[in-house]
Structures are given as structure tokens and as C-alpha cells.
Amino acid sequence: MADKTKSRLPINWFVVALILSLYVLGYFLYPHLPEQVPSHWNMAGEVDGYSSRTFHILFFPSLILFLYLVMSFAPVLDPRPESYRKFQGVYEGFRYLMIGLLMLLYMATTLYALGYTFSIGKIVRFAIGLLLVFTGNYFGKIRHNYTFGIKTPWTLASEEVWNKTHRMSGPLWVVVGFIWMISVLIAEKLAFAISMGSLMIVSIYGCVYSYILFQRLKNQ
């Protein structure tokens, strides 16, 4: 039986300190922030949702810290914790990239609230594109688990289906990631439609592929 305590990823206290520094930054910026801070943008890149400045400086750093800890302990909770040791470098890279991009997004929304004008939508799409390129590039190295990767009933039921589905999907996710990044060059509504549409297509294709492959292997 696998020792799950050894599967938890080590806590990087430098990263934790960086996340906690967001609280300090929020404390100093609090008097300069408006009472209502933009918190949501529509497909056209227009603000259509607000939150209080107190919520902004407390919730988002807390969310980032929570996600970092969840990703650190996820291998312990997974039914197959031993799998993470086989792709620990990839998972750690994803964890750091995710946290870094979330911190960047927090900084961007804070600067926007302070009056700096730029497109939050473009920053979000470029950040998601980076994540998709990174993840797709290493899909083939992700071993069978129940938390990280393409999880369909058929990939979870068969390690062979899992491996082949991820090897097939990897290049497609890289292409979609570049589409998301390039979409920052076109109009917001069209960029949103193209980026979301491309992601939905490859996601559905991966699910269908895993089902067909599972059935084919079962009938051999």
C-alpha cells in the first residue's frame, strides 16, 4: 500500500511568502482603491460586476493561497498517489505556473481598479493560453490518476485508454493554447468565441476518442 504522506508535494515557503505579500500590498493600497472594485468583465471586455475593496484585497489572496495548498495536498487525497511521483516535475511546474498567473491577474485587476486602462480579457486569455500550452506539451507524461488530466469514465477505467488519450490530446491542447494567446490581437467578442469554441471542440473530441478507444479495446 502506498505511503500517502510521502505523496504530498513539499510546501515552497518562498511561494507562500509571495502569496502572503499580497495581503501586505492590499493593506497599503486599500486607501487608494475605490469603494467598489471591478470584479467581472463580459465578452466585450466591459466591466459588468463589482465587489467591495475589502472583499478584493482579502478574498483573492486567500483564494490563491487555498488553491496552492489544495494542489500541494491533492496527491494525498487521490486514490492513486503513487502516480504523482512519476510526473512530479510536470505537476509542480503546473502548480507554480497556475499560482504565478493568478497572482498576475490579481495585480492586473488591482491596477485596473486604481485607474490604469488596459484589457483584462486579453491578459486572461493569454494566461489561459500559456497554461494550455504547458499542459498539452506534457500531457503524455501525466500518469493515471483521478485528479489531474483528462478524466472521463473511460480514461479512469483503463490505463491504456488514459495514456493514448493524453498522447493524442497533447498536441491539440498546445494548438488551442496558441489560439488563446493569438486571440489577444483581435476584437474581444470574436476572440472569446474563437478561444472558447476551440477549447470546447478539443475537449469533446478527447471525450469521444476515449469512449471509442475504450469500446474498441473491450471488444478485442
Which of 43, 39, 133, 42 is closest to 93 using CA atoms? 133
Average pLDDT of each block of 10 consecutive residues along the chain (220 residues)?
56 92 96 94 87 96 96 88 89 94 96 92 95 96 94 95 97 97 93 96 97 92
H or E element at residue 201 = helix 188-218
Supply the pTM of this predicted model: 0.90
Cell of 176: 488551442
pLDDT of 3 reads 52
Give the CA radius of gyration of the chain. Answer: 20
pLDDT of 1 reads 44
